[in-house]
Structure formats: structure tokens, C-alpha cells
Amino acid sequence: MKGKPRGARVPKAAAVADYSFRQRFRVSPEKAFRWCIDFTPIDLADSEDGRRKVTWLSPGTVRLDDTFPRPGGRRIRKVKLVQIYPETRSWVSTHIVGPNHYSQFRYAIVPDGATGSALLFDGRELRWKGPALNAAATRRLARRLCEEDASLWKTFAVEMERAYRVR
């Protein structure tokens, strides 16, 4: 018999948080997309004292291997597989290693006004540790993740506009 053995348990996530937001940029969609998918090892160095290894597997597929510091001197590792779709100015990032493996995040850059653009973000984070969360706790988690990620992208918007010398 092929497949999983009879009676084998498939682990289930303790929580699944779905969330989305929109972030406006004062640059064209083409510039915003180019800036967003310009993955480099120094992406994490300034903001989080992290390290990143970037491996291009094909023109539209990149593997990001990130390591971040944690309290107590420990470090955490996250490996993401990113699929890039230039024709729609979008990309999908799937965590394949780390505490939130199998989490997936979709990004799309769309026109916004005559000269601007916006990021449309949809995230689904899977949490594997801890007890299963009830609906109210899952909503709180999703709200917190949304606030954290939206705040980060506000910072990225400023950095992007500075890179393109937008005033």
C-alpha cells in the first residue's frame, strides 16, 4: 500500500492566522516590484542583526536562508522558497524550514493613482507549538501579525522611496 501508513497521525497546526493589508508606495509599480524582489544578503543586516543567504535556483525562484538572533544568545533559522511572477508583479513566499514551516505569504504590486503603486499582502501563518488556539485567540494573533507586518512594510516604503529619491 502506498501513501501514509494506516493509523499514522498527521500533525495539525496549533493555530492558523490569515491576515491581509495594503501598503501604498510613492513610486511606479515597476520600480516597487524591482525593489521588492531585489533579495540580497544585507537585507537583514541593518534592521535585525540577522544574516541571509540568497540562492537563485532559477530566474523566477529564490531560496532565502535567514538566521535571526533570539534572547539568551540563541538564533532562529527560517528558510523560504520564493516564486516570482514578473508578468503580474507578484511573488509567493513559502516557509520550508523554521518554527512556522508551511506558512505562506502572497505579495502583489498594483498601480495606485497616476504615479504610485501599492502592495497587496495576504498571509497565512501556521503555528506548530503550544496549545490549539480558540477562535478569539486566533483573531488576536492574526491582528497582531497584521500590525507587525504592516508596520514593517511602512518602514520598507520609506526605504524604497529614499532609494528612488522620492520627496
Instruction: Tell me whether residue 117 is in a domain.
Output: yes
C-alpha–C-alpha distance, residues 145 and 153, integer Å: 12
Average pLDDT over residues 137-166: 94
C-alpha–C-alpha distance, residues 44 and 123, integer Å: 20
Instruction: Tell me whether residue 6 is in a domain.
Output: no
Average pLDDT over residues 56-60: 97
Range of the domain at 66: 15-163
Q: What share of residues in the chain are helix, strand, coil (percent, to 5)?
A: 30, 40, 30
* CATH number, domain containing residue 45: 3.30.530.20
pLDDT at 48: 61
Instruction: Tell me whether residue 148 is in a domain.
Output: yes
Instruction: Tell me whether residue 2 is in a domain.
Output: no
Residues 69-105: tens digit of each pLDDT: 888 888 889 999 999 999 999 999 999 999 999 999 9
Instruction: Tell me whether residue 4 is in a domain.
Output: no
Closest by CA to 111, choosing from 120, 102, 103, is: 120
Instruction: Tell me whether residue 69 is in a domain.
Output: yes
pLDDT at 57: 98
Instruction: Tell me whether residue 10 is in a domain.
Output: no
Domain count, the chain: 1
| 19 exposure class (CB count in 10 Å sphere: 0-12, 13-18, 19+) | buried
